[in-house]
Amino acid sequence: MQHIYIENMECINQSNDLLFENKKGYSYQCELTNTIVVNFDGIITSYKIKDFLIFQRMVNSVNVLDMLYNLSDEGDYKLIEATKRNFSKELTICEIVQLRDLLNGTKFILVLNSMVLEVLSDTVVY
């Protein structure tokens, strides 16, 4: 597995070990730094698992229906910021839905991997 480091020393995976990918980005787990790396629309951020889950819940808490029904110009965008990390961007409704898809897909794969590892570790070999 190859890794490159960018200026803030975050790990960027150059192999095919992606957790999840959609049209706007991808995510993977960096084994060197034990972080979840998310590339969304060219913005690359990494999170410890606790911070990733907080960010995922925060993005899921955005009320997209209120944004759709809000006819003012302010309703077209929502500022999304991650705690402790360098993600801060005003996103459109479509971008929020795509970010949700990326984060929820990543969480699903992490949970699935954990379940598979748990089952495999419980299997007794004779």
* Burial class for 30, CB neighbours closer than 10 Å (0-12, 13-18, 19+): middle
Q: Give the model confidence (pLDDT) of 53-103 as tens digits.
A: 999 999 999 999 999 998 888 888 999 988 776 788 999 999 999 999 999
User: Which residue ranges make up each domain of the chain?
Assistant: 3-122
HSE-up of residue 66 (Cα within 13 Å, Cβ side): 6
Whole-prediction pTM: 0.82
